């Protein structure tokens, strides 16, 4: 590291403490911008993709000349501290003003130590674990050159067809807020006053702003259309929670809002984000977001570039709309120098906050990266967190398994490394993770035998399998016939005492542009599973998936089902931990599992209609229901079993009435009535019974994950404040309206354990 830069940094910290005063940053940025040409200012707004730059060859890369000219504000998806140092050196030593550049990456659920996909991680309901996963991701990424992550994704989603549910935290607003806060703290630091002052803290980017998780038909990039009252009550809060936690950047979404693409939506990016929520970071587009406004039908390349800048976009990812169009637009009077200066200032301020002007190479710590990235300590934590994210959907006395006899491991997901990390694990080394086959064998070594057969391909259709196993996630399609594969599996099954069926989706069957109209286990795998069950041997379905799956036949016929999502780089060992009872499963669903795709969108916090179906009924003419299936989900939000059982006392309230501005305390006592220790997620839901606008039948407003030994009891309390009772009314005022409120506390969203109070 440059000694002069180290001295400057030390003096700065000594004089000003951990966080340099805002006035010092203003003075620095003012002075720098006074020296910049218009072209250099516009260059700060440009974010091209790095491409493959080999260490030591940065000077001859395609992007190097543009950096020298000051036409690049940042790069993304360049991996490796040495490569990044080479590129940063060009910016600092060979450009006119020596302005360092940002290096970003899709560090979504880990860097090289990969944690469960975000949907799986949310099922842990453990905010300490969520924050820890982001903290470790920041530690690894920052040592290896990355200072900016395009995470967290906080889009609320209630449509399992949409592939990117895997990248979010599920269907609930309140839980989504808590996870958003935890992720930002993990990336940027726990204290807002000192965030981004440490070498291992990186800039978070909240995405996708806004409403991206509600596309029509569950199809990625599709139109979103909803009322503003729904935006404010259900979809906006997690974005705001992340911003209130200190998130330094925001990514605009691909979809339109009120008929205007989010990338060029002034109401969204300025009126809401900056004026209402006081966001002071910078806004970046999603990949080619500006250029895509042309296809939306709102203008040509020049006009949409101007629209995006004036709306509040500060940095253009890949489109190069600003580089190509903004100078000409300025000369034509289509925008002002003030528009350019404002965006440029925000980018420079982010670099200042990150400390890049003091030490441009602070995130290039190759020796540290060699010790920290994918180290055993991080892997052990990832294994523990993965096991806590798995959801036990069914267990008829089969689990936990004994480490004895012969275990038949069958299925196309049983012997793959590259699929274990899950989608959006761009920095992962896909050839490193254990296969499930290896994980089980290691767990029972010397005690039991593990037999293996693939049993089937992923799907019957070759082209569909190729689309579902992109980016190095191939399963090695077997060219034998379906019958040959099945017969081999049945031979293994007949020799086994118990069968573990590793089935479901490949990792790239979910994620961006991986939407499905059928969300069941694929055809040939279903045939395999039915044949395995027909043997009469005990069968455990280990389900790999990046979304809720329809499991009607499986729920009725398979003795045990463990949903393991994609648990990250340590999936194999974590699955073994749970299957053999070394870890008691404690995950709870954060998205509702429908009975079939026709029920979608299906979520617990729905509103009643004027003709609701009466509880316990299936069909009644002239009521809101279906002819062919009931309204209930297969598995509700918040659901998850354990190897033990828990009993809840009745809900008690501290008061039957509460004055406006006051609060009421709700309590239950939870007892472990089983024979083994376990963890339970105690969930508190609230219903505003009568309002000036219609309200959901219930909403999650509190939760606590507790650990109990056999026979142990614990009292769990929730303080219901006026804020928790409040909602946005038709005038978009955040109010708590007087009247009756019901409180439900239990093990999932169907809890009938209730009490009520009156807000005066």
Helices and strands, counts by H and E, the chain: 24, 27
Is 174 strand, coil or helix?
Answer: helix
Host H or E run for residue 518? none
- List Cβ neighbours of 131 (8 Å cut-off, separation of 6 or more): 182, 183, 185, 186, 190
Give the angle 619-620-623 at the CA atoms, nearest 5°. Answer: 105
Which runs of consecutive H residues, i.e. helices, occur in 361-472? Answer: 366-372, 376-389, 436-443, 462-467
560 vs 542: CA distance, rounded Å: 9
Per-residue DSSP letter, 203: B
Strand partners, 679: 707
Residue 104 to residues 142, 347, 687, Cα–Cα distance (Å): 10, 13, 42
Q: Please indicate whether residue 286 is annotated as part of the active site.
A: yes
8 Å CB contact between 220 and 512: yes
Residue 445 sits at φ, ψ, to 5 deg, of -55, 125
Best CA proximity match to 521, nearest among 389, 411, 407, 401: 411
What is the token pair recorded at 311? 């709306």
Structure tokens at 399: 């689990």
Task: Tell me the Ramachandran region of residue 465: left when phi exceeds 0, alpha when psi lies from -120 to 50, beta otherwise.
Answer: alpha
DSSP string covering 699-756: EEEEEEEEEE-TT-EEEEEEEE-HHHH-EE-TT--EE--SEEEEEEEESSTT---EEE
The gap from C-alpha 718 to its chain's centroid, in whole angstroms, comes to 26
Q: Assess whether the previous peptide bond of 673 is cis (omega < 30° from 0).
A: no
Nearest Cα to Cα of residue 408 among 465, 479, 489, 478: 489
3-state SS, one letter per residue, for 164-176: HHHHCCCCCHHHH
User: Cβ–Cβ contacts within 10 Å for residue 199, how many?
Assistant: 16
- Angle at Cα 668 formed by Cα 737 and Cα 234, nearest 5°? 40
Token pair in block for residue 617: 């009924």
Evaluate the omega torsion of the peptide bond into residue 634 and state whether it is cis, within 30 degrees of 0.
no
Cα–Cα distance between 623 and 613 in angstroms, integer? 6
Report the alpha-carbon distance of residue 125 to residue 219 in Å, rounded. Answer: 28
Please tell me the distance from the alpha carbon of residue 658 to that of residue 643, in angstroms, as a whole number: 40
| Tokens describing residue 151 | 């995470």
For residue 282, give the 3-state DSSP assignment. strand
Smallest CA-to-CA distance from 454 within 491, 406, 497 is with 491
Rg of the chain, C-alpha, whole Å: 27
The secondary structure of residue 593, as a DSSP letter, is: B
Catalytic residue (choose from 86, 172, 286, 577) = 286
Q: Please give the backbone phi and psi of residue 530, each rounded to the nearest 5 degrees, phi first.
A: -65, -40
Phi, psi dihedrals of residue 466, rounded to the nearest 5°: -65, -40
Which residues make beta-bridge pairs with 745? 684
Host H or E run for residue 671: strand 664-672
What positions carry a catalytic annotation? 286
């Amino acid at each position: 590291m440059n000694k002069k830069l180290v001295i400057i940094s030390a003096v700065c910290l000594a004089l000003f403490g951990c966080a340099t005063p805002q006035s010092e940053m203003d003075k620095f940025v003012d002075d720098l911008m006074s020296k910049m040409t218009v072209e250099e200012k516009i260059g700060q707004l440009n974010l091209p993709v790095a491409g493959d730059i080999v260490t030591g060859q940065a000077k001859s890369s395609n992007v190097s000349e543009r950096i020298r000219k000051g036409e690049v504000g940042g790069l993304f998806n360049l991996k490796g501290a040495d490569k990044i140092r080479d590129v940063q050196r060009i910016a600092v030593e060979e450009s006119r003003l020596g302005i360092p550049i940002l290096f970003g990456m899709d560090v979504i659920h880990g860097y090289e130590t990969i944690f469960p996909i975000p949907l799986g991680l949310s099922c842990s309901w453990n905010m300490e674990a969520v924050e820890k996963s982001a903290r470790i991701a920041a530690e690894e990424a920052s040592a290896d050159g990355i200072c900016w992550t395009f995470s967290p994704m906080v889009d609320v989603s209630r449509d399992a067809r949409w592939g990117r549910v895997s990248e979010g935290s599920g269907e609930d607003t309140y839980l989504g807020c808590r996870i958003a806060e935890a992720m930002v703290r993990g990336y940027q630091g726990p204290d807002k006053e000192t965030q981004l002052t440490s070498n291992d803290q990186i800039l978070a980017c909240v995405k996708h702003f806004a409403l991206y998780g509600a596309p029509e038909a569950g199809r990625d990039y599709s139109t979103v259309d909803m009322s503003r009252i729904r935006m404010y009550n259900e979809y906006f809060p997690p974005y705001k929670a992340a911003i209130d936690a200190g998130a330094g950047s925001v990514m605009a979404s691909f979809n339109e809002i009120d008929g205007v693409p989010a990338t060029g939506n002034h109401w969204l990016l300025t009126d809401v984000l900056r004026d209402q929520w006081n966001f002071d970071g910078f806004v970046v587009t999603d990949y080619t977001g500006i250029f895509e406004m042309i296809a939306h039908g709102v203008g040509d390349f020049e006009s949409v570039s101007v629209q995006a800048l004036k709306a509040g976009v500060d940095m253009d990812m890949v489109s190069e709309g600003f580089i190509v169009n903004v100078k000409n637009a300025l000369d034509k009077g289509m925008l002002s120098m003030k528009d350019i200066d404002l965006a440029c200032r925000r980018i420079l301020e982010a670099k200042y906050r990150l400390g890049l002007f003091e030490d441009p190479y602070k995130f290039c710590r190759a020796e540290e990266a060699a010790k920290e990235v994918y180290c055993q300590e991080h892997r052990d934590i990832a294994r523990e967190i993965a096991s806590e994210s798995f959801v036990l959907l069914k267990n008829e006395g089969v689990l936990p398994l004994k480490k004895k006899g012969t275990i038949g491991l069958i299925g196309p997901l049983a012997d793959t490394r590259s699929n274990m990390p899950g989608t959006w694990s761009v920095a992962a080394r896909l050839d490193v993770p254990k296969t499930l086959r290896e994980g089980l064998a290691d767990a029972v070594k010397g005690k039991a035998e593990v037999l293996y057969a693939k049993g089937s391909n992923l799907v019957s259709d070759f082209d569909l399998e190729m689309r579902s196993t992109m980016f190095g996630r191939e399963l090695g399609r077997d060219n034998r016939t379906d019958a040959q594969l099945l017969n081999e599996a049945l031979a293994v099954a007949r020799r086994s005492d118990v069968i573990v069926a590793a089935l479901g989706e490949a990792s790239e069957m979910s994620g961006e542009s991986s939407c499905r109209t059928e969300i069941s286990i694929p055809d040939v795998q279903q045939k395999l599973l039915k044949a395995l069950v027909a043997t009469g041997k005990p069968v455990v379905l280990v389900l790999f998936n990046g979304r809720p799956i329809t499991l009607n036949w499986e729920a009725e016929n398979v003795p045990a089902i463990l949903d393991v999502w994609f648990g990250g780089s340590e999936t194999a060992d974590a699955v073994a931990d749970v299957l053999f009872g070394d870890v008691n499963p404690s995950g709870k669903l954060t998205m509702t599992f429908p009975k079939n795709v026709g029920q979608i969108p299906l979520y617990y916090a729905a509103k009643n209609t004027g003709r609701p179906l009466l509880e316990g009924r299936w069909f009644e003419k002239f009521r809101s229901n279906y002819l062919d299936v009931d309204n209930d989900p297969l598995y509700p939000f918040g659901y998850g079993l354990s190897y033990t059982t828990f009993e809840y006392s009745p809900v008690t309230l501290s008061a039957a009435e509460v004055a406006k501005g006051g609060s009421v305390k709700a309590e239950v006592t939870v007892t472990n009535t089983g024979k083994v220790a376990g963890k339970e997620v105690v969930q508190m839901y609230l219903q505003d019974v009568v309002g000036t606008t219609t309200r959901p039948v219930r909403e999650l407003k509190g939760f606590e994950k507790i650990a109990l030994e056999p026979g142990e009891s614990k009292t769990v309390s929730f303080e219901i404040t006026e804020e928790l009772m409040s909602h946005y009314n038709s005038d978009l005022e955040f109010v708590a309206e007087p009247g009756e409120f019901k409180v439900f506390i239990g093990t999932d969203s169907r809890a009938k354990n209730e009490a009520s109070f009156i807000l005066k």
